[in-house]
């Protein structure tokens, strides 16, 4: 409970600094931060919670369309790990205070457990919100990135939810 309140306080504090940013479309957007995964390992009612990291690099073809490479790692109990390597298009709606985005990604997931290792197909559909800062025009804060993350381990589809938050760095200009 304290952790949730602290996270909300930090988000609220950073959001107060989000003011208009003049400027153009960046050539690249780099993201790095915390990620939470609610996984459904067996495709049934069993679920697991894990924490980890997420990083992505996006190349903006024009003001609204780009290509994204997205990587993450999540770590759970008993040495279970999951790493996803996803790629695909992203549509971004750029406003003066914030960027709203949606993406569809596909790639592979690599999972390990005590006597298990597999690398099946994975996909993600989702989007999020990045706030822009006036004082630091090349740095933003990703308030939320929420994704449906599908994987296909052991001949069964897993329906997972992934939430990420962190810093966004805007590199270059279009």
Give the residue, 12 or 99, on which the prediction is more confident. Answer: 99
Nearest Cα neighbor of 22 from 102, 100, 132 is 132
Contacts of 111 (CB under 8 A, 6+ apart): 80, 81, 82, 83, 117, 118, 119, 151, 153
CATH number (domain holding residue 140): 2.40.160.20
Q: How many domains does the chain have?
A: 1
Both structure tokens of 52:
């980890």
Query: Residue 134 is part of which domain span?
Result: 2-171
Mean pLDDT of 125-135: 92
Q: Which of 1-5, 63-67, 74-78 has the highest mean pLDDT?
A: 63-67
| Mean pLDDT rounded to a whole number for the chain | 86
């Amino acid at each position: 409970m304290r952790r949730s309140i602290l996270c909300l306080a930090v988000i609220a504090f950073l959001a107060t600094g989000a003011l208009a940013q003049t400027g153009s479309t960046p050539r690249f957007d780099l993201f790095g931060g915390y990620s939470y995964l609610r996984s459904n390992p067996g495709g049934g009612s069993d679920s697991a919670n894990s924490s980890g990291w997420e990083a992505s690099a996006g190349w903006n073809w024009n003001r609204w369309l780009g290509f994204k490479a997205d990587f993450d790692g999540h770590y759970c109990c008993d040495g279970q790990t999951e790493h996803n390597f996803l790629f695909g298009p992203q549509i971004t709606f750029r406003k003066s205070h914030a960027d709203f985005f949606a993406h569809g990604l596909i790639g592979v997931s690599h999972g390990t457990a005590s006597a298990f290792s597999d690398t099946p197909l994975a996909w993600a559909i989702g989007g999020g919100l990045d706030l822009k800062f006036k004082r630091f025009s090349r740095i933003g804060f990703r308030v939320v990135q929420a994704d449906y993350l599908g994987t296909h381990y052991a001949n069964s589809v897993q329906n997972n939810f992934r939430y990420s938050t962190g810093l966004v760095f805007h590199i270059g200009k279009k």
